[in-house]
Structures are given as structure tokens and as C-alpha cells.
Structure 1
């Protein structure tokens, strides 16, 4: 005897609904994962740009220290906004205010400002150890500013150091 398969008369399609709900959930998880990956890539790019700007500013300061250590005088780079200021300058170079002014320039690539700090402390000894009476120590303050790239910068950094050759 041959039997015909029996089908329920009213199928509700519950499996189809469950499969569609799982498909929607997986799609939402995929979209959220792509957004997180995109955000992490932007954060890594910003970190790289900030680090590049800091490394360039640090390099400028160290090159200036080498120059001052060998030549004992400041020589501005040709075509750049480098300057030497007295430490009693009425508009002194100090940290974040100077860096903000540099970043607001039309072309904010790099800048160096150098000051002789020992000229502002007459009669007081800043030098470590003892020196001959006729030898006066020279103490420099070097402020350097740089962006991550010269054209269309996205990040900038300033480094300030005190240096005694």
C-alpha cells in the first residue's frame, strides 16, 4: 500500500520569520563592525599625524641644539620663520600661546625661536658645578614648532627645551 505524505493544512512559515530575523541581526552586526573599524582607522591616522608632527618638532629642536653646541651662536634657516629673541622681550615665546599663534599662520609648517636665558639673570649663577670666573655659561631656550606634513597639515606640535652646551 502506497501512502501519500500528509502536509499540514495551515503552514505558518515560522522558520522563514526566524531566518529573516537572524539575517537582520547579522546585517546590523556587520554594519556596527564596519563603523568600529572605520573609527579605529581614523584614530590610528590621527595618532600617526600627531606623532609625525611631534617627531618633526623634536628633530628641529635637537638639530638646533647640535648647531648651538658646535657654533655657540644661532643661525636661522634660510627661508624659514626662525628668530632669536631676548628673554626680556615684551612678547616672550612661551609654550602653548606661541604654538597656537604659529598654527594659526597662513603657512604654519615649521618655526624655531631661540632665547639666551643667562642674559636675564645678572649676578646669579645658573651653571651647575664651578667654572672659571671669566667664563660665563650660555643657557639657551629653544622653542620649535612643526606640522605633520608641509602641505595641508592635519596636526601640529611644539617642543620647548632648555639647553646648555
Structure 2
């Protein structure tokens, strides 16, 4: 068996090493940029989830208050015990409602949940609310404004939401 001698170049320049290192640096930069984008998207998704969760909790509180008014024989709002719920009248000296009320709730020490129920019939004055002729099976009922506030979590909240509804039970 006869082997042919391999001729190695006497002087190697190492260009492949430099090209490989440049590619490695470029890939590392792409990886770092990709991780930053993924981290930003994760934070955005977390914020969206917290906001949606706070809105759903506030919406649920408003619907519970509406259901409670509908099921109450006297048709009135009864605040939940141990919570910061309240029934307000039209001549309330502190008429803060809507987004201003929700903003005040969010600045509270313990802003978890709150519901305010206001019967609006007395607010309307003597003007009739119905125009024309209503259905025979409808009776004149009270009109309620329900304001509900909630955070995404009871402890250490990151987002809050307020919902306001006007309904006829």
C-alpha cells in the first residue's frame, strides 16, 4: 500500500476563523434582539390579561347588583356586607359618579371592589319618561344606575376597571 504525501500549505491565514467569529457575533445580536421583543410581547400580553380580568370582574359585579335588584321583592339595592357598596340618592351631596368615582376608588388604600346603586326616578323631575304608548304588559318601574369598580386581583392589583349601567328591572 502506497500513500501519497499530503502537501499542507506552509502558511495558513485563518480567514475562516474570522468569518465564523463575525457570524457568531451577528447571531448573538439577533438572539438578544429576539429576546427583547419576546419580553416586550410577554409584558403586553400580561397587561392585556390584567385589564380584561379587571373589566370582567367589574362587569360581573354590575350584573350581580342588577340580578339582586331584580330578585328583591321591594326592588331596591342592598349593599353587600363587608364591602364598600352604597346606595346613593339623587340629592346626594357627594354626586361623584362614573369615571370620576372609579378614579377615586383606584386611589384608595384597598381598592378591590365596590358597587354604587342609584335609583334615578327621583332624578328625572316631573317630566314623563315614556313617550307614546307602552306595551300593555309593562308597568312603570324604577330606573337604576349601577356603578361597579374592580381590580384584576384582590391583593397587589395591577389594573382596575369601572363599569356603569342604567337599567330597568
- Tell me whether 50-59 or 1-10 shows the greater mean CA deviation: 1-10
Normalised to the residue count of structure 1, the TM-score between the two structures is: 0.89
Q: Is it true that 1:18 corresponds to 2:19 in the alignment?
A: yes
Contact 1:127 1:137 in 2 (8 A): no
Aligned partners of 2:83 and 2:153: how far apart in 1?
Answer: 15
* Corresponding residue SS for 1:162: strand
1:159 maps to: 163
After superposition, give the CA deviation of every residue in 1:117-151 in whole Å (9 maximum; x if it has no partner). Answer: 1111122122475389xx64310000000011111
2:88 maps to: 85
Alignment gaps of 5+ in structure 1: none
* Corresponding residue SS for 2:125: coil
Q: Is it true that 1:95 corresponds to 2:84 in the alignment?
A: no
- Aligned CA distance change for structure 1 residues 2 and 150 (closer, same or farther; 3 Å): closer
Aligned partners of 1:149 and 1:40: how far apart in 2?
Answer: 21
Mapping 1:55-74, distance limit 5 Å: 55-71=56-72, 72-74=75-77
After superposition, give the CA deviation of every residue in 1:71-130 in whole Å (9 maximum; x if it has no partner). Answer: 101101000000111123232232221111001111000000111111111221224753
Alignment gaps of 5+ in structure 2: none
Q: How many residues align?
A: 163
The alpha carbon displacement at 1:55 in A equals 0.5
Q: Is it true that 1:130 corresponds to 2:134 in the alignment?
A: yes
- Aligned CA distance change for structure 1 residues 64 and 47 (closer, same or farther; 3 Å): same
